[in-house]
Structure 1
Amino acid sequence: MTLTWSGEVGQRTVLAGVLAAVLVISSSGVALGQVTPGEWHTYTYRGPATISVATLKIPASAWRHFEKARSLALKHRAAESETESGKALAIAPTFAAAHILQASQQLALKDYAGAIANVDQARKSEPDAQWSGLILAGAYNSLRRYGDAMEVILSLDGSEAECWQAKYEHARAAIGLGDVDEALRWSSAAWEAAPHNFSDAILMRSNALILAHHWTEASDKLYAYLAMPGAQPHREEARAALDNVTQRMKAEHKPQGVTLASR
Protein backbone atom coordinates (compact mmCIF):
# COMPACT_ATOMS: atom_id res chain seq x y z
CA MET A 1 0.00 0.00 0.00
CA THR A 2 1.34 3.45 -0.90
CA LEU A 3 1.52 6.36 1.47
CA THR A 4 1.16 9.74 -0.17
CA TRP A 5 1.97 12.99 1.50
CA SER A 6 0.76 15.96 -0.52
CA GLY A 7 1.00 19.67 0.05
CA GLU A 8 -0.96 22.63 -1.30
CA VAL A 9 -2.82 22.25 -4.57
CA GLY A 10 -0.43 22.63 -7.47
CA GLN A 11 2.64 22.20 -5.30
CA ARG A 12 5.27 20.06 -6.98
CA THR A 13 5.84 16.68 -5.33
CA VAL A 14 8.76 14.29 -5.53
CA LEU A 15 9.13 10.61 -4.76
CA ALA A 16 11.22 9.95 -1.69
CA GLY A 17 12.16 6.88 0.31
CA VAL A 18 9.92 4.44 2.10
CA LEU A 19 7.53 5.70 4.72
CA ALA A 20 5.30 3.78 7.11
CA ALA A 21 2.53 4.71 9.49
CA VAL A 22 1.16 2.23 11.96
CA LEU A 23 -2.51 2.43 12.82
CA VAL A 24 -4.09 0.68 15.75
CA ILE A 25 -7.71 -0.24 15.30
CA SER A 26 -9.62 -0.34 18.57
CA SER A 27 -13.31 -0.53 19.12
CA SER A 28 -16.06 -0.72 21.69
CA GLY A 29 -19.03 -3.00 21.16
CA VAL A 30 -22.48 -1.54 21.71
CA ALA A 31 -24.92 -4.39 21.19
CA LEU A 32 -25.75 -7.29 23.49
CA GLY A 33 -22.98 -9.85 23.50
CA GLN A 34 -20.63 -7.84 21.32
CA VAL A 35 -16.91 -8.35 21.57
CA THR A 36 -14.50 -5.43 21.80
CA PRO A 37 -12.16 -6.06 18.87
CA GLY A 38 -8.92 -4.43 17.99
CA GLU A 39 -7.17 -3.46 21.20
CA TRP A 40 -3.42 -3.48 20.59
CA HIS A 41 -3.74 -4.88 17.07
CA THR A 42 -1.52 -3.00 14.64
CA TYR A 43 -1.45 -2.87 10.90
CA THR A 44 1.53 -1.35 9.16
CA TYR A 45 1.38 0.64 5.94
CA ARG A 46 4.43 0.25 3.73
CA GLY A 47 5.24 1.97 0.50
CA PRO A 48 6.93 4.89 -1.23
CA ALA A 49 5.87 8.32 -0.06
CA THR A 50 5.21 11.33 -2.22
CA ILE A 51 6.53 14.24 -0.19
CA SER A 52 6.10 17.93 -0.92
CA VAL A 53 9.01 20.24 -1.68
CA ALA A 54 8.28 22.01 1.62
CA THR A 55 8.84 18.75 3.46
CA LEU A 56 12.24 18.35 1.82
CA LYS A 57 13.39 21.43 3.76
CA ILE A 58 13.23 19.40 6.97
CA PRO A 59 16.72 19.19 8.58
CA ALA A 60 18.61 15.94 8.20
CA SER A 61 18.71 15.45 11.97
CA ALA A 62 14.91 15.47 12.11
CA TRP A 63 14.80 12.93 9.28
CA ARG A 64 17.14 10.65 11.23
CA HIS A 65 14.86 10.71 14.26
CA PHE A 66 11.88 10.14 11.99
CA GLU A 67 13.48 7.12 10.33
CA LYS A 68 14.33 5.66 13.73
CA ALA A 69 10.75 6.25 14.88
CA ARG A 70 9.46 4.55 11.74
CA SER A 71 11.72 1.55 12.34
CA LEU A 72 10.50 1.25 15.93
CA ALA A 73 6.90 1.49 14.76
CA LEU A 74 7.43 -1.41 12.38
CA LYS A 75 8.63 -3.43 15.38
CA HIS A 76 5.47 -2.46 17.31
CA ARG A 77 7.49 -0.52 19.89
CA ALA A 78 4.94 2.26 20.14
CA ALA A 79 6.21 4.14 23.19
CA GLU A 80 9.77 4.34 21.87
CA SER A 81 8.55 5.32 18.41
CA GLU A 82 6.33 8.04 19.86
CA THR A 83 9.29 9.45 21.80
CA GLU A 84 11.56 9.40 18.75
CA SER A 85 8.92 11.15 16.64
CA GLY A 86 8.77 13.79 19.35
CA LYS A 87 12.50 14.38 18.94
CA ALA A 88 12.00 14.92 15.21
CA LEU A 89 9.19 17.38 15.90
CA ALA A 90 11.30 19.27 18.45
CA ILE A 91 13.72 20.00 15.61
CA ALA A 92 11.09 20.53 12.90
CA PRO A 93 7.63 21.37 14.35
CA THR A 94 6.08 21.52 10.86
CA PHE A 95 7.24 18.00 9.89
CA ALA A 96 3.84 16.62 8.85
CA ALA A 97 5.04 13.05 8.33
CA ALA A 98 6.41 12.95 11.89
CA HIS A 99 3.10 14.27 13.25
CA ILE A 100 1.21 11.53 11.42
CA LEU A 101 3.62 8.82 12.55
CA GLN A 102 3.45 10.04 16.13
CA ALA A 103 -0.35 10.16 15.94
CA SER A 104 -0.43 6.54 14.81
CA GLN A 105 1.68 5.52 17.80
CA GLN A 106 -0.53 7.51 20.13
CA LEU A 107 -3.45 5.42 18.92
CA ALA A 108 -1.47 2.35 19.97
CA LEU A 109 -0.91 3.95 23.37
CA LYS A 110 -4.59 4.94 23.61
CA ASP A 111 -3.69 8.62 23.72
CA TYR A 112 -6.56 9.56 21.43
CA ALA A 113 -6.53 13.27 22.28
CA GLY A 114 -2.83 13.37 21.43
CA ALA A 115 -3.46 11.62 18.12
CA ILE A 116 -6.17 14.12 17.19
CA ALA A 117 -3.90 17.05 18.11
CA ASN A 118 -1.08 15.65 15.98
CA VAL A 119 -3.37 15.23 12.98
CA ASP A 120 -4.45 18.85 13.38
CA GLN A 121 -0.80 19.97 13.43
CA ALA A 122 0.07 17.84 10.40
CA ARG A 123 -2.77 19.35 8.40
CA LYS A 124 -1.58 22.88 9.14
CA SER A 125 1.57 22.24 7.11
CA GLU A 126 0.19 19.54 4.77
CA PRO A 127 -3.58 20.12 4.42
CA ASP A 128 -4.06 16.93 2.42
CA ALA A 129 -1.72 14.72 4.44
CA GLN A 130 -2.83 11.24 3.51
CA TRP A 131 -3.84 8.78 6.25
CA SER A 132 -4.52 11.70 8.58
CA GLY A 133 -8.24 11.18 8.04
CA LEU A 134 -8.06 7.48 8.78
CA ILE A 135 -6.13 8.10 12.01
CA LEU A 136 -8.66 10.76 12.98
CA ALA A 137 -11.58 8.41 12.34
CA GLY A 138 -9.90 5.71 14.42
CA ALA A 139 -9.38 8.11 17.32
CA TYR A 140 -12.98 9.34 17.17
CA ASN A 141 -14.32 5.78 17.08
CA SER A 142 -12.17 4.87 20.06
CA LEU A 143 -13.61 7.85 21.94
CA ARG A 144 -17.11 6.71 20.90
CA ARG A 145 -17.55 9.92 18.94
CA TYR A 146 -19.17 7.89 16.20
CA GLY A 147 -20.85 10.82 14.47
CA ASP A 148 -17.54 12.64 14.15
CA ALA A 149 -15.87 9.45 12.92
CA MET A 150 -18.54 8.96 10.28
CA GLU A 151 -18.18 12.56 9.09
CA VAL A 152 -14.43 12.05 8.63
CA ILE A 153 -14.88 8.70 6.89
CA LEU A 154 -17.35 10.14 4.40
CA SER A 155 -14.83 12.90 3.56
CA LEU A 156 -12.02 10.46 2.65
CA ASP A 157 -10.96 10.17 -0.97
CA GLY A 158 -8.41 8.43 -3.14
CA SER A 159 -6.50 5.42 -1.88
CA GLU A 160 -7.33 6.32 1.70
CA ALA A 161 -11.04 5.85 1.02
CA GLU A 162 -10.48 2.58 -0.83
CA CYS A 163 -8.28 0.79 1.72
CA TRP A 164 -9.74 -1.92 3.90
CA GLN A 165 -9.03 0.05 7.09
CA ALA A 166 -11.47 2.73 5.93
CA LYS A 167 -14.13 0.05 5.50
CA TYR A 168 -13.33 -1.24 8.99
CA GLU A 169 -13.63 2.22 10.57
CA HIS A 170 -16.85 2.78 8.62
CA ALA A 171 -18.27 -0.41 10.13
CA ARG A 172 -17.19 0.66 13.62
CA ALA A 173 -18.92 4.01 13.28
CA ALA A 174 -22.07 2.47 11.83
CA ILE A 175 -22.29 -0.05 14.67
CA GLY A 176 -21.73 2.71 17.20
CA LEU A 177 -24.52 4.75 15.64
CA GLY A 178 -26.82 1.72 15.56
CA ASP A 179 -27.23 1.88 11.78
CA VAL A 180 -27.96 -1.78 11.05
CA ASP A 181 -27.91 -1.59 7.24
CA GLU A 182 -24.63 0.33 7.08
CA ALA A 183 -23.10 -1.87 9.78
CA LEU A 184 -23.92 -4.99 7.78
CA ARG A 185 -22.68 -3.47 4.54
CA TRP A 186 -19.35 -2.16 5.77
CA SER A 187 -18.51 -4.98 8.15
CA SER A 188 -18.95 -7.36 5.22
CA ALA A 189 -16.75 -5.17 3.02
CA ALA A 190 -14.07 -4.94 5.72
CA TRP A 191 -14.15 -8.67 6.40
CA GLU A 192 -13.74 -9.48 2.70
CA ALA A 193 -10.97 -6.92 2.11
CA ALA A 194 -8.89 -7.31 5.28
CA PRO A 195 -5.82 -9.56 5.44
CA HIS A 196 -6.77 -13.15 6.19
CA ASN A 197 -4.95 -13.05 9.52
CA PHE A 198 -6.69 -9.90 10.75
CA SER A 199 -9.01 -11.70 13.15
CA ASP A 200 -10.64 -8.51 14.41
CA ALA A 201 -12.45 -8.19 11.07
CA ILE A 202 -14.34 -11.37 11.97
CA LEU A 203 -15.28 -9.92 15.35
CA MET A 204 -16.43 -6.69 13.73
CA ARG A 205 -18.61 -8.70 11.36
CA SER A 206 -20.05 -10.65 14.28
CA ASN A 207 -20.81 -7.34 16.05
CA ALA A 208 -22.82 -6.14 13.06
CA LEU A 209 -24.68 -9.44 12.86
CA ILE A 210 -25.48 -9.27 16.57
CA LEU A 211 -26.75 -5.71 16.11
CA ALA A 212 -29.02 -7.02 13.34
CA HIS A 213 -30.13 -10.01 15.47
CA HIS A 214 -28.75 -12.41 12.87
CA TRP A 215 -27.89 -14.91 15.56
CA THR A 216 -26.99 -17.90 13.43
CA GLU A 217 -24.55 -15.97 11.24
CA ALA A 218 -23.08 -14.23 14.28
CA SER A 219 -22.56 -17.62 15.90
CA ASP A 220 -20.76 -18.87 12.79
CA LYS A 221 -18.39 -15.90 12.84
CA LEU A 222 -17.64 -16.30 16.54
CA TYR A 223 -16.93 -20.00 16.05
CA ALA A 224 -14.62 -19.06 13.16
CA TYR A 225 -12.75 -16.61 15.38
CA LEU A 226 -12.35 -19.16 18.17
CA ALA A 227 -11.07 -21.73 15.66
CA MET A 228 -8.29 -19.45 14.41
CA PRO A 229 -4.76 -20.58 15.32
CA GLY A 230 -2.58 -18.66 17.70
CA ALA A 231 -3.31 -16.63 20.80
CA GLN A 232 -6.27 -14.48 19.80
CA PRO A 233 -6.52 -11.49 22.14
CA HIS A 234 -10.29 -11.62 22.63
CA ARG A 235 -10.89 -15.33 22.99
CA GLU A 236 -12.65 -15.08 26.36
CA GLU A 237 -14.84 -12.21 25.17
CA ALA A 238 -15.71 -14.17 22.05
CA ARG A 239 -16.70 -17.20 24.13
CA ALA A 240 -18.93 -15.03 26.32
CA ALA A 241 -20.49 -13.45 23.23
CA LEU A 242 -21.07 -16.88 21.73
CA ASP A 243 -22.82 -18.00 24.92
CA ASN A 244 -25.11 -14.96 24.74
CA VAL A 245 -25.86 -15.55 21.07
CA THR A 246 -26.55 -19.24 21.71
CA GLN A 247 -29.02 -18.33 24.45
CA ARG A 248 -30.78 -15.95 22.07
CA MET A 249 -31.00 -18.66 19.43
CA LYS A 250 -32.45 -21.13 21.94
CA ALA A 251 -34.97 -18.59 23.19
CA GLU A 252 -36.21 -17.83 19.68
CA HIS A 253 -36.55 -21.50 18.78
CA LYS A 254 -38.01 -22.69 22.08
CA PRO A 255 -41.23 -24.68 21.47
CA GLN A 256 -44.33 -22.98 22.80
CA GLY A 257 -45.98 -25.27 25.36
CA VAL A 258 -49.72 -25.77 25.41
CA THR A 259 -51.31 -24.59 28.63
CA LEU A 260 -54.78 -25.23 29.99
CA ALA A 261 -55.58 -21.56 29.52
CA SER A 262 -54.79 -21.77 25.83
CA ARG A 263 -57.10 -24.70 25.13
Structure 2
Amino acid sequence: MFDIYKEMWKRRKMIHSLSLQEMKREYAGTLLGFVWGLVNPLMRIAVFWFVFSIGARAGGPVNGAPYFAWLAIGMVAWFLLNDGFRLTQKSFRSKRSIIKNTPFPIAILPAVQILYSYYIHLILLAVIFIGMAFTLQTVSIYNLQLLYYDFAALMLLLGIGSVTAPLVAVSKDFGRFLDTILVFLFWMTPIFWSADGLGILEKVIKLNPFHYIVQGYRDSFFYGVGFWDQPVYTLYFWVLVLAFFLLGNYLHKRMKPIFLDTL
Protein backbone atom coordinates (compact mmCIF):
# COMPACT_ATOMS: atom_id res chain seq x y z
CA MET A 1 0.00 0.00 0.00
CA PHE A 2 2.88 2.39 0.78
CA ASP A 3 5.48 1.02 -1.62
CA ILE A 4 7.03 4.31 -2.68
CA TYR A 5 7.36 5.49 0.92
CA LYS A 6 9.04 2.24 1.90
CA GLU A 7 11.46 2.91 -0.96
CA MET A 8 12.13 6.39 0.41
CA TRP A 9 12.81 5.06 3.90
CA LYS A 10 15.05 2.32 2.55
CA ARG A 11 17.12 4.91 0.68
CA ARG A 12 17.03 7.64 3.34
CA LYS A 13 20.82 8.00 3.37
CA MET A 14 20.80 8.58 -0.37
CA ILE A 15 18.04 11.16 0.04
CA HIS A 16 20.13 12.97 2.65
CA SER A 17 23.23 12.95 0.43
CA LEU A 18 21.35 14.12 -2.65
CA SER A 19 19.66 16.94 -0.75
CA LEU A 20 23.08 18.22 0.42
CA GLN A 21 24.35 17.99 -3.16
CA GLU A 22 21.32 20.01 -4.22
CA MET A 23 22.30 22.74 -1.76
CA LYS A 24 25.88 22.78 -3.00
CA ARG A 25 24.74 22.95 -6.62
CA GLU A 26 22.29 25.77 -5.89
CA TYR A 27 24.91 28.02 -4.30
CA ALA A 28 27.99 26.89 -6.22
CA GLY A 29 30.05 29.79 -7.51
CA THR A 30 28.54 32.38 -5.15
CA LEU A 31 30.65 34.28 -2.66
CA LEU A 32 28.16 34.10 0.22
CA GLY A 33 26.99 30.54 -0.44
CA PHE A 34 23.99 29.42 1.59
CA VAL A 35 23.71 32.90 3.12
CA TRP A 36 21.73 33.79 0.01
CA GLY A 37 19.14 31.38 1.33
CA LEU A 38 18.64 33.86 4.19
CA VAL A 39 18.91 37.13 2.28
CA ASN A 40 15.93 36.54 0.00
CA PRO A 41 13.38 35.47 2.66
CA LEU A 42 14.51 38.12 5.14
CA MET A 43 14.18 40.81 2.48
CA ARG A 44 10.70 39.58 1.60
CA ILE A 45 9.64 39.60 5.25
CA ALA A 46 10.91 43.18 5.59
CA VAL A 47 9.11 44.32 2.43
CA PHE A 48 5.79 42.78 3.41
CA TRP A 49 6.10 44.23 6.91
CA PHE A 50 6.71 47.68 5.46
CA VAL A 51 3.81 47.41 2.99
CA PHE A 52 1.24 46.15 5.48
CA SER A 53 2.45 47.82 8.66
CA ILE A 54 3.76 51.17 7.43
CA GLY A 55 2.13 51.62 4.04
CA ALA A 56 -1.31 50.18 4.75
CA ARG A 57 -1.15 51.17 8.44
CA ALA A 58 -2.57 47.79 9.40
CA GLY A 59 0.23 46.57 11.59
CA GLY A 60 -1.29 46.55 15.05
CA PRO A 61 -0.68 43.67 17.48
CA VAL A 62 -2.48 40.41 16.64
CA ASN A 63 -3.98 38.91 19.79
CA GLY A 64 -1.18 40.52 21.77
CA ALA A 65 1.67 39.49 19.47
CA PRO A 66 3.71 42.27 17.77
CA TYR A 67 2.73 42.37 14.12
CA PHE A 68 6.28 42.16 12.75
CA ALA A 69 7.08 39.09 14.85
CA TRP A 70 3.69 37.55 14.08
CA LEU A 71 4.25 38.14 10.35
CA ALA A 72 7.82 36.84 10.42
CA ILE A 73 6.87 33.54 12.05
CA GLY A 74 4.03 33.03 9.58
CA MET A 75 6.34 33.78 6.67
CA VAL A 76 9.00 31.35 7.92
CA ALA A 77 6.42 28.56 7.97
CA TRP A 78 5.12 29.63 4.56
CA PHE A 79 8.58 29.60 2.93
CA LEU A 80 8.96 25.93 3.83
CA LEU A 81 5.52 25.08 2.45
CA ASN A 82 5.98 27.22 -0.65
CA ASP A 83 9.44 25.90 -1.56
CA GLY A 84 8.51 22.32 -0.82
CA PHE A 85 5.30 22.53 -2.87
CA ARG A 86 7.05 24.25 -5.78
CA LEU A 87 10.05 21.92 -5.95
CA THR A 88 8.36 18.57 -5.34
CA GLN A 89 5.74 18.98 -8.03
CA LYS A 90 8.56 19.48 -10.58
CA SER A 91 10.90 16.89 -9.08
CA PHE A 92 10.41 14.33 -11.88
CA ARG A 93 10.38 16.78 -14.78
CA SER A 94 13.40 18.76 -13.52
CA LYS A 95 15.46 15.55 -13.22
CA ARG A 96 14.36 13.96 -16.47
CA SER A 97 17.95 13.62 -17.73
CA ILE A 98 18.80 11.45 -14.73
CA ILE A 99 15.59 9.47 -14.99
CA LYS A 100 16.00 8.71 -18.70
CA ASN A 101 19.71 7.91 -18.69
CA THR A 102 20.31 6.00 -15.45
CA PRO A 103 18.54 3.27 -13.46
CA PHE A 104 17.58 5.75 -10.76
CA PRO A 105 15.06 5.14 -7.92
CA ILE A 106 12.77 7.98 -9.03
CA ALA A 107 10.36 7.51 -6.11
CA ILE A 108 12.82 9.28 -3.81
CA LEU A 109 13.02 12.53 -5.83
CA PRO A 110 10.14 14.35 -4.06
CA ALA A 111 11.74 13.52 -0.70
CA VAL A 112 15.11 14.88 -1.90
CA GLN A 113 13.55 18.22 -2.81
CA ILE A 114 11.63 18.42 0.46
CA LEU A 115 14.72 17.71 2.55
CA TYR A 116 16.68 20.32 0.59
CA SER A 117 13.94 22.87 1.33
CA TYR A 118 13.92 21.85 4.97
CA TYR A 119 17.65 22.40 5.45
CA ILE A 120 17.33 25.95 4.13
CA HIS A 121 14.28 26.40 6.35
CA LEU A 122 16.19 25.32 9.46
CA ILE A 123 18.82 28.00 8.90
CA LEU A 124 16.18 30.71 8.52
CA LEU A 125 14.19 29.41 11.50
CA ALA A 126 17.29 29.47 13.69
CA VAL A 127 18.00 33.11 12.79
CA ILE A 128 14.41 34.19 13.48
CA PHE A 129 14.22 32.16 16.68
CA ILE A 130 17.43 33.63 18.11
CA GLY A 131 16.35 37.15 17.13
CA MET A 132 13.00 36.80 18.89
CA ALA A 133 14.50 35.13 21.92
CA PHE A 134 16.64 38.21 22.51
CA THR A 135 14.18 40.93 21.50
CA LEU A 136 10.81 39.54 22.64
CA GLN A 137 11.86 36.89 25.17
CA THR A 138 9.40 34.46 23.60
CA VAL A 139 11.24 31.27 24.63
CA SER A 140 8.90 28.74 26.24
CA ILE A 141 8.29 25.02 26.45
CA TYR A 142 5.76 25.38 23.63
CA ASN A 143 8.59 26.23 21.24
CA LEU A 144 9.38 22.51 21.19
CA GLN A 145 6.17 22.07 19.21
CA LEU A 146 8.03 23.40 16.20
CA LEU A 147 9.52 19.92 15.86
CA TYR A 148 6.02 18.49 15.58
CA TYR A 149 4.82 21.13 13.10
CA ASP A 150 7.97 20.71 11.00
CA PHE A 151 7.32 16.97 10.87
CA ALA A 152 3.69 17.64 9.96
CA ALA A 153 4.76 20.04 7.19
CA LEU A 154 7.24 17.51 5.77
CA MET A 155 4.63 14.75 5.73
CA LEU A 156 2.09 17.06 4.08
CA LEU A 157 4.61 18.10 1.42
CA LEU A 158 5.63 14.49 0.83
CA GLY A 159 2.00 13.52 0.28
CA ILE A 160 1.33 16.47 -2.02
CA GLY A 161 4.56 15.88 -3.91
CA SER A 162 3.75 12.21 -4.43
CA VAL A 163 0.44 13.23 -6.00
CA THR A 164 1.59 16.16 -8.12
CA ALA A 165 5.01 15.00 -9.38
CA PRO A 166 3.63 12.24 -11.68
CA LEU A 167 0.90 14.56 -12.99
CA VAL A 168 3.33 17.39 -13.76
CA ALA A 169 5.67 14.89 -15.42
CA VAL A 170 2.87 14.02 -17.82
CA SER A 171 1.49 17.53 -18.35
CA LYS A 172 3.27 20.91 -18.29
CA ASP A 173 -0.16 22.55 -18.20
CA PHE A 174 -0.86 20.93 -14.87
CA GLY A 175 2.38 22.38 -13.55
CA ARG A 176 1.28 25.88 -14.60
CA PHE A 177 -2.07 25.26 -12.95
CA LEU A 178 -0.34 24.32 -9.69
CA ASP A 179 1.77 27.50 -9.85
CA THR A 180 -1.48 29.46 -10.02
CA ILE A 181 -2.90 27.48 -7.10
CA LEU A 182 0.21 28.29 -5.07
CA VAL A 183 -0.30 32.02 -5.62
CA PHE A 184 -3.92 31.61 -4.53
CA LEU A 185 -2.87 29.73 -1.40
CA PHE A 186 -0.33 32.42 -0.58
CA TRP A 187 -2.98 35.11 -0.34
CA MET A 188 -5.72 32.91 1.13
CA THR A 189 -3.56 31.46 3.90
CA PRO A 190 -3.70 33.89 6.86
CA ILE A 191 -0.10 35.05 6.71
CA PHE A 192 -0.68 38.81 6.69
CA TRP A 193 -4.04 38.75 8.39
CA SER A 194 -5.80 36.76 11.08
CA ALA A 195 -8.73 34.44 10.40
CA ASP A 196 -10.08 34.86 13.93
CA GLY A 197 -13.61 36.17 14.19
CA LEU A 198 -14.57 35.54 10.55
CA GLY A 199 -17.40 33.16 11.44
CA ILE A 200 -18.16 30.49 8.85
CA LEU A 201 -15.36 31.83 6.64
CA GLU A 202 -12.86 30.97 9.37
CA LYS A 203 -13.96 27.32 9.21
CA VAL A 204 -13.56 27.32 5.42
CA ILE A 205 -10.06 28.81 5.68
CA LYS A 206 -9.06 26.14 8.17
CA LEU A 207 -9.77 23.48 5.54
CA ASN A 208 -6.52 24.63 3.96
CA PRO A 209 -3.86 22.36 5.54
CA PHE A 210 -1.24 25.10 5.13
CA HIS A 211 -3.20 27.10 7.71
CA TYR A 212 -2.67 24.30 10.24
CA ILE A 213 1.11 24.65 9.92
CA VAL A 214 1.25 28.47 9.87
CA GLN A 215 -1.10 28.80 12.84
CA GLY A 216 0.77 26.04 14.65
CA TYR A 217 3.98 28.01 14.36
CA ARG A 218 2.29 31.05 15.84
CA ASP A 219 0.65 29.04 18.60
CA SER A 220 4.07 27.65 19.49
CA PHE A 221 5.73 31.06 19.61
CA PHE A 222 3.11 33.44 20.96
CA TYR A 223 -0.03 31.82 22.32
CA GLY A 224 1.00 28.70 24.25
CA VAL A 225 -1.55 26.51 22.48
CA GLY A 226 -0.72 22.82 22.05
CA PHE A 227 -1.75 20.80 19.03
CA TRP A 228 -3.48 18.47 21.48
CA ASP A 229 -5.77 21.37 22.45
CA GLN A 230 -7.46 21.12 19.04
CA PRO A 231 -7.88 17.36 18.51
CA VAL A 232 -10.54 17.59 15.78
CA TYR A 233 -8.46 19.95 13.65
CA THR A 234 -5.34 17.83 14.18
CA LEU A 235 -7.24 14.67 13.24
CA TYR A 236 -8.56 16.38 10.08
CA PHE A 237 -5.03 17.36 9.08
CA TRP A 238 -3.60 13.87 9.45
CA VAL A 239 -6.53 12.22 7.70
CA LEU A 240 -5.90 14.59 4.78
CA VAL A 241 -2.18 13.72 4.80
CA LEU A 242 -3.04 10.02 4.77
CA ALA A 243 -5.36 10.59 1.80
CA PHE A 244 -2.52 12.32 -0.08
CA PHE A 245 -0.20 9.42 0.73
CA LEU A 246 -2.63 6.81 -0.55
CA LEU A 247 -3.43 8.76 -3.71
CA GLY A 248 0.25 9.49 -4.34
CA ASN A 249 1.22 5.85 -4.04
CA TYR A 250 -1.60 4.86 -6.39
CA LEU A 251 -0.76 7.49 -9.01
CA HIS A 252 2.93 6.66 -8.94
CA LYS A 253 2.36 2.98 -9.62
CA ARG A 254 -0.31 3.55 -12.29
CA MET A 255 1.38 6.45 -14.08
CA LYS A 256 5.04 5.44 -13.90
CA PRO A 257 5.11 3.81 -17.37
CA ILE A 258 3.32 6.84 -18.82
CA PHE A 259 5.51 9.59 -17.42
CA LEU A 260 8.70 7.63 -18.09
CA ASP A 261 7.75 7.61 -21.78
CA THR A 262 6.63 11.25 -21.67
CA LEU A 263 9.84 12.49 -20.08
- TM class by shorter chain equals under 0.3
Q: Which has the higher strand share?
A: 1
Q: Please, what TM-score do these two structures have when normalized by structure 2?
A: 0.23
Q: Which has the higher contact order (CA 8 A, sep 6+)?
A: 2
Q: Please, what TM-score do these two structures have when normalized by structure 1?
A: 0.23
Q: Which has the higher helix share?
A: 2
